[in-house]
C-alpha cells in the first residue's frame, strides 16, 4: 500500500482542509486542559498535519509504515525549513526513545488495523509512551461511511494530470472494506497506470471506547469532525480523545 499512490496522494487530497483538522486537534487539547509540547503523529502519511503542527511550534515526530509516504513528507518539511523527525514504523509495534505529551492519528489510521486485538495492542503501546497527563487524539471513518457511503460503490474522477477509478466492496460480516484503486497519471503525453488495494475495518464507537478503557485510558470523549459536539448517527468521521 501507498507506493505509487504516495506520490499522487497530495494531489488527490488537495481539497482537504488540513489547517482545519489541526485547529480541531488543538481545540480538543484545550477542551481537555492540555498544552502538549511534544507530539507524535501516527500514520502521518505525507506529513500534511505533521508539518502544520510543526509550523505551530510543536516538537513533532511523524510515524508511518510507508517509506514512500515518508519520503514525500521529508521533502515537504525540508522545503519548508521545518525540523521534523520521520520514522518508518508499524504503529501496532510503536517504539519511541522517550514518552511524549500527545499522540495523534488522523485520516483513518486506526481503520487500517483490521483486528480488534491489534488495535488494543496499539492503544496499549500508545499508553506506554505518553507522559503522565498525556493525551491521545485520533479520528476514524464511521461504520456508516464505510458501509453506506463507500461500501459497494464505484467512484471515478479525472483532471488534466490524474484520473482514478475506485471500486469498493464492504463485507458486513467481517466489517472490512476492500478498496481497489486504479490511477492514471499523465506523463509525456501518455498515461501511466498504477493499482493498489487497501483494506479498512469499520469499528463501532462503543468498541473503541471499551478498548481504550481496557488499555488504561480515562476521560474518553467522542466528538464530531467539525466541532466539540457529540457525533450524530450519520457522521462520516468522528474524533476521540483519551488521557493518561
pTM of structure:
0.94
∠ Cα 197 121 137 (to 5°): 80
Query: What is the C-alpha to C-alpha distance for residues 65 and 18, in angstroms, rounded to an integer?
Result: 21
Choose among 212, 236, 215, 216: nearest CA to 226.
236
pLDDT of residue 90: 96
Report the Cα–Cα distance between both ends of the chain, in Å, rounded.
Answer: 32
Determine which helix (DSSP H) or strand (DSSP E) holds 121, and give its type and residue range.
Answer: helix 116-128
Query: What is the C-alpha to C-alpha distance for residues 1 and 194, in angstroms, rounded to an integer?
Result: 11
Which residue positions in the chain have pLDDT lower than 50?
A: none
Query: What is the C-alpha to C-alpha distance for residues 106 and 141, in angstroms, rounded to an integer?
Result: 10
**What would the grid cell of residue 28 be?**
480538543
Query: What is the C-alpha to C-alpha distance for residues 108 and 74, in angstroms, rounded to an integer?
Result: 21
Where do the domains of the chain lie, and which CATH numbers do they carry? 4-141+204-243 (3.40.50.150), 145-200 (2.20.25.110)
Query: What is the C-alpha to C-alpha distance for residues 87 and 164, in angstroms, rounded to an integer?
Result: 29
pLDDT of residue 2: 56
pLDDT of residue 64: 96
Do 133 and 34 contact (CB within 8 A), yes or no?
A: yes
pLDDT of residue 4: 65
Separation of CA 213 from chain center: 21
Angle between helices 18-31 and 48-55 (to 10 degrees): 60
Angle between helices 48-55 and 67-79 (to 10 degrees): 30
Amino acid at each position: 500500500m501507498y507506493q505509487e499512490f504516495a506520490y499522487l496522494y497530495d494531489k488527490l487530497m488537495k481539497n482537504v482542509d488540513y489547517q482545519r483538522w489541526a485547529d480541531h486537534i488543538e481545540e480538543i487539547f484545550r477542551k481537555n486542559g492540555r498544552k502538549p509540547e511534544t507530539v507524535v503523529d501516527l500514520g502521518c502519511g505525507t506529513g500534511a498535519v505533521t508539518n502544520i503542527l510543526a509550523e505551530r511550534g510543536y516538537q513533532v515526530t511523524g510515524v508511518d509504515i510507508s517509506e514512500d509516504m515518508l519520503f514525500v513528507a521529508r521533502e515537504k518539511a525540508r522545503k519548508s525549513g521545518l525540523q521534523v523527525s520521520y520514522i518508518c514504523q508499524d504503529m501496532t509495534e510503536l517504539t519511541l526513545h522517550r514518552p511524549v505529551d500527545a499522540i495523534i492519528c488522523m485520516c483513518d489510521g486506526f481503520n487500517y488495523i483490521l483486528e480488534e486485538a491489534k488495535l488494543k495492542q496499539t492503544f496499549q503501546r500508545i499508553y506506554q509512551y505518553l507522559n503522565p497527563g498525556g493525551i491521545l487524539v485520533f479520528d476514524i471513518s464511521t461504520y456508516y461511511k464505510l458501509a453506506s457511503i463507500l461500501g459497494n460503490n464505484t467512484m471515478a474522477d479525472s483532471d488534466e494530470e490524474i484520473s482514478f477509478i475506485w471500486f469498493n466492496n464492504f463485507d458486513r460480516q467481517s466489517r472490512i472494506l476492500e478498496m481497489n484503486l486504479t490511477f492514471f497519471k499523465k506523463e509525456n503525453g501518455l498515461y501511466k497506470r498504477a493499482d493498489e488495494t487497501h483494506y479498512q475495518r469499520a469499528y463501532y464507537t462503543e468498541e473503541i471506547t471499551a478498548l481504550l478503557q481496557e488499555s488504561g485510558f480515562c476521560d474518553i470523549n467522542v466528538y464530531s469532525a467539525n466541532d466539540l459536539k457529540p457525533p450524530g448517527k450519520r457522521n462520516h468521521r468522528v474524533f476521540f480523545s483519551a488521557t493518561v
